[in-house]
Homo-oligomer: A and B are copies of this chain.
Amino acid sequence: MKAAFIHEPGPAESIVIGDLPDPRPGERDIVVEVKASSVNPIDIYIRSGMIPMDLPLPFIPGCDFAGIVRAVGPGVQSFAPGDKVWGSNQGLLGRQGTMARLACVHEHFAYPIPEGVSFEQAAAASLVGITASIGLHQKACLSSGEKVLVSGGGGAIGSMVIQMAAAEKAKVTATTSSAEKMDRCRNDGATTILDYTKDEWADQALEKNPGGFDVIWETSRTPDLSTLVGLLAENGRMVIMAGRDARPEFPIGPFYVKGCSLFGFAMFKIPPHRQAEAASKVNEGLASGAIRPGIAATFPLDKASEAHTLQESITLHRSSSGGIASGKILVIP
């Protein structure tokens, strides 16, 4: 099969296109003909070696996929050839990735694509959708009508968190910077959008949300926990999932006096059954139209290294030229 792969961790240019043996399904695996794969920051970290992982070599990067089941292992119970499926969590922890014509996936990491949803939409919603649901539903236990702040609402995760919170009838405030991203946040369902480059954003957020926020989702890699904890309401919950090297000050008093909780997680470590619960929530949103993942750019498999270069410029350098950071980058095998 045709695939994009690396012989060892390295820059985006080390991705080569070539032929690899077709994968054969194990007991509970399905083989998916990949119609769309999307790129995530974790793909960059793994491909470059920034996050060292034991990789099967040659290694195919890529977490997310959407496609059609072409073969199933003897123990597979949930799928049959011809089913349209999507999923995430490939290309890490020893598993091969999805930037290839075929991907071999354990059935517990695959979910049906709802009627009327395209492969591109499903692939673009995969990792970000599951992540948003785990944070909002499983960690923060978001309730209908609660006040939610998405700090950094203009990125791919932020966009999905806004959409999913809005789908729960939350009152969503988002912070971002450029005018394009502000528009995107508004379209995603945020009713208040603030410019985090302006000092007064936190005061403005409190003015519009007296008593503070029930749920805060921080996407920044340099979280200002003093400000954010100050913005939490009584029983407020905060989610963090970025900022490996950040060591901000943590205001103990306001946090415990208000009975707050802080949740951190790395999506790919969440057990498969919890990911599947999150995937059903994503499917609900995709089916109803409440979740509409933005697609910023689409590359053919031959240009996989360009897709990685673009993702890298967004992830590592926070490039936002042309609003590209507001949507997902797809690779179409």
Of all chain B residues, the one with the shortest Cβ separation from A222 is B252
Contact of A249 among B249, B260, B261 (CB under 8 A): B249
Q: Do the beta carbons of B261 and A263 come within 8 Å of each other?
A: yes
A-B contacts, 18 of them at CB < 8 A, read A139-B261, A225-B250, A234-B269, A240-B252, A240-B256, A242-B256, A243-B253, A244-B252, A245-B252, A247-B252, A248-B249, A248-B252, A249-B249, A250-B250, A252-B264, A255-B262, A259-B270, A261-B262
Is A26 in the interface zone, CB < 8 Å from B?
A: no
With an 8 Å Cβ cutoff, the count of chain A residues facing the other chain is 33
Q: Do the beta carbons of B251 and A247 come within 8 Å of each other?
A: yes
CA distance A259 to B266 in the complex (A): 6
CA distance A123 to B234 in the complex (A): 29
Is A241 in the interface zone, CB < 8 Å from B?
A: yes
Contact with B along A262-276 (1 / 0, CB 8 A): 111110011000000
Those of A39-59 within 8 Å (CB) of chain B: none
Is A297 in the interface zone, CB < 8 Å from B?
A: no
Looking at A226, A256, A263, A270, which has the most chain B CB atoms within 10 Å of its CB? A256
Of all chain B residues, the one with the shortest Cβ separation from A249 is B247
Looking at A223, A225, A260, A263, which has the most chain B CB atoms within 10 Å of its CB? A263
Of all chain B residues, the one with the shortest Cβ separation from A258 is B264
Q: Do the beta carbons of A250 and B247 come within 8 Å of each other?
A: yes
Is A246 in the interface zone, CB < 8 Å from B?
A: yes
Listed in ascending order, the chain A residues whose CB lies under 8 Å from chain B are 139, 223, 225-226, 234, 240-253, 255-266, 269-270
When distances are taken between beta carbons in the complex, the residues of chain B under 8 Å from A225 are: 250
CA distance A234 to B265 in the complex (A): 10
Of all chain B residues, the one with the shortest Cβ separation from A51 is B257
Q: Do the beta carbons of B256 and A264 come within 8 Å of each other?
A: yes
Give min CB distance, A240 to chain B, whole Å: 5
CA distance A265 to B245 in the complex (A): 27
Q: Do the beta carbons of A244 and B257 come within 8 Å of each other?
A: yes
CA distance A256 to B263 in the complex (A): 7
Give min CB distance, A43 to chain B, whole Å: 17
Looking at A242, A251, A258, A259, which has the most chain B CB atoms within 10 Å of its CB? A259
Q: Do the beta carbons of A240 and B226 come within 8 Å of each other?
A: no
19 more A-B residue pairs beyond the given contacts A243-B253, A246-B252, with a C-beta to C-beta distance below 8 A: A139-B261, A225-B250, A226-B247, A234-B269, A240-B252, A241-B256, A245-B253, A247-B251, A247-B252, A249-B250, A252-B264, A255-B264, A256-B264, A256-B266, A257-B264, A258-B264, A259-B269, A259-B270, A262-B262
Q: Do the beta carbons of B269 and A264 come within 8 Å of each other?
A: no
CA distance A21 to B206 in the complex (A): 45
When distances are taken between beta carbons in the complex, the residues of chain B under 8 Å from A240 are: 252, 255-256
Known contacts A225-B250, A252-B243; A266 and B257 CB within 8 A of each other = yes
